[in-house]
Structure 1
Amino acid sequence: MTNPETEVPSEPGTDRLAQAVRTAEQALIEFEIAVETFRVEVENFSRLHHQRLGPLYARLEELDALIAEAVAARSGDPEDLRRAREARALVQPMPGVEELFGGWLDSEGLPPEASAMLTGQRVRPPQRVRPSDGARKAYRELVRRAHPDLAPDEGDRRRRESFMVRVNAAYAAGDEALLGELAEEWAAGPVPAQRRPSPAEELYARLEWLARRKEMLSAVAAELEASAIGSMIKMAPDDPDGLLEEVAGGLLTQIAEREARLAGMTDQRFG
């Protein structure tokens, strides 16, 4: 299947150039799909990281402050008192907690996921980091069909851009059913009109634009991969959700150790 916007008359030198443009367009679209998929995974993992691990980090900070305060109360040493003040200063309420957890909090102000982590109780599983295979397949097909770079004219480009905003939102939410509805909507929509063949100069301009676009996407991909969350996902690309469980398990172990230490200090103080 050829792209109408890159069809040119059989003029000397234009056939190979048009083929190069078509190849570059498809390569760019595939690259954009990969970057957007990773962006969704980073965004989802970041949200789950805050939801599930934020309360655990907060509990660790609180325990560290309590331990430092207990040490300072026992010794009265100025250096211990300074450490206790610094540890307490690190204990901060989580910003925007009601927005972060969508107002779904328990009687103690914690989301069920956090309570489950601290008490060992079962709770509904959180949203996965990675969209389902069906959602990913539907997204790829929609991008290949409706990508703005395939528009034959400016009017059709605007239509495609508006449509892709909805596609990206559905993909970010992992809504496979909605992606299916959008695929039907696109299939039933107007067929973009073919534009008149472009001269060789316009094909060269097109290649330059594609190169600039790929350079920009490469910068976005590099930034995502260099981020803390992106680096964590790269540690377990096949099971980022499992990595989250592993980190949570480590934090729970640290919490248990600190709670035991604090309990021992309290027993010594009042024994």
Structure 2
Amino acid sequence: MTQKRLRGIVGHYSKAGYLFQLAQRLAPGLDQDEKQLKEHGYSPAHNAKELAAVIESVFCEQYSVLDCCRAVLCGVFPSHGGIRKSTRGTFQKAFNGEIDEKVPVAIREALAKTKDWYFDLLKLRDEITHSNVGSCHRQDKSDCVTYMHDGLGSPGKSLVIENVMGVIKNYFDVINELLGAVFHELNRTLNDEPIEQMCGIFGGRFYQRVVRPSEAIDTNGGVCKSYKWFDLEENPDCPLKDSCRAYSRAKSDGAANEPTDADDQ
């Protein structure tokens, strides 16, 4: 389950990014709604609703990253006070300074540091999940997209986010900062021993490498393991071998270990 939540962190963060890119592509369509309004005195505002729906999905995906991060901590620290099965409860405990002192201080501080923005994102996620779709518009001669929702905000006053794209970008930054702090600390607890990891599946074949946690900085870490079979003439190459340093490292190590003429003699 913890491994699934680890994949969920990457998956939801990536999905939020894809949706944000889509939102940026949809934003120019707001001009069409404005044109219809000026020409006909009315617009169905389809573009505004589509953009708002995508923006709301971004907020929900960003919060899902926090859900998965909390679940990973729950798996790593299953009996430590303050780390709960409730995301809201875990963050509240962090804000109150009630996380077990056996949890690394860097993780406790990283969780507590989110107090400035966590509840705002939580409220957005909760209300969006149980309410209707908001709307978007863009002020004349401005590239800033404004998001509005009559079900959010305070009684009698709708929620208005003047520069919603900027707000989303900021959430990406602070969430990424939280993840960096948490996993920098968790990675320090790993045994730095080589393990086999799957790089990907191409053409129905599994490609693998051997990598230490300290080497797993990017996709070039470790040493390719699958080159021993995909380099054979009867097998297809790895499509990434020409740009993969794990492959070049494996070939270099292999060449260094090959017997020389002197060894043969």
> Under a length normalisation based on structure 1, what TM-score does the superposition of the two structures give?
0.26
Greater fraction helix: 1
Larger Rg: 1
Greater fraction strand: 2
> Under a length normalisation based on structure 2, what TM-score does the superposition of the two structures give?
0.26
